[in-house]
Amino acid sequence: MPAKQHKIRIFSTPTCPHCIDAKKYLKENKVAFEDIDVSDNSAASEEMVKISGQMGVPVIVIDDKTVIVGFDRAALKKTLKLKK
């Protein structure tokens, strides 16, 4: 378990393979996150674009300050100080 509990939000869609991989990776590392489905939530979709400037998913927001666009395993591992 990571030493610090981070606030993590993942803007995703149910059919996005990179979203599925990112959520699986976090679950494997026992990292809690809020999954926000933007496929049927226009307000969440607008918030995601405002945060990231991107339309693509996933957009991962850590502690309301770090934004990772796409499933970047190395960036997640470094930011969250994960072992694997």
CATH code assigned at 17: 3.40.30.10
Whether 40 maps to a domain, the answer reads yes
Whether 1 maps to a domain, the answer reads no
- SS3 of residue 55 by DSSP: coil
Whether 2 maps to a domain, the answer reads no
pLDDT at 1: 45
- In this structure, are residues 66 and 79 in contact, taking their beta carbons and an 8 Å threshold? yes
Q: Where are the beta strands (DSSP E) in 22-63?
A: 34-37, 59-62
pLDDT at 4: 66
Q: Which domain holds residue 62?
A: 8-80
Number of separate domains in the chain:
1
Q: Peptide bond preceding 17: is omega within 30 degrees of 0, i.e. cis?
A: no
Cα separation, 7 vs 64, whole angstroms = 7
Number of H helices, E strands in the chain: 3, 4
pLDDT at 5: 84
What's the predicted TM-score (pTM) here? 0.92
Ordered per-residue pLDDT tens for the chain, 84 residues: 444 689 999 999 999 999 999 999 999 999 999 999 999 999 999 999 999 999 999 999 999 999 999 999 999 999 999 988
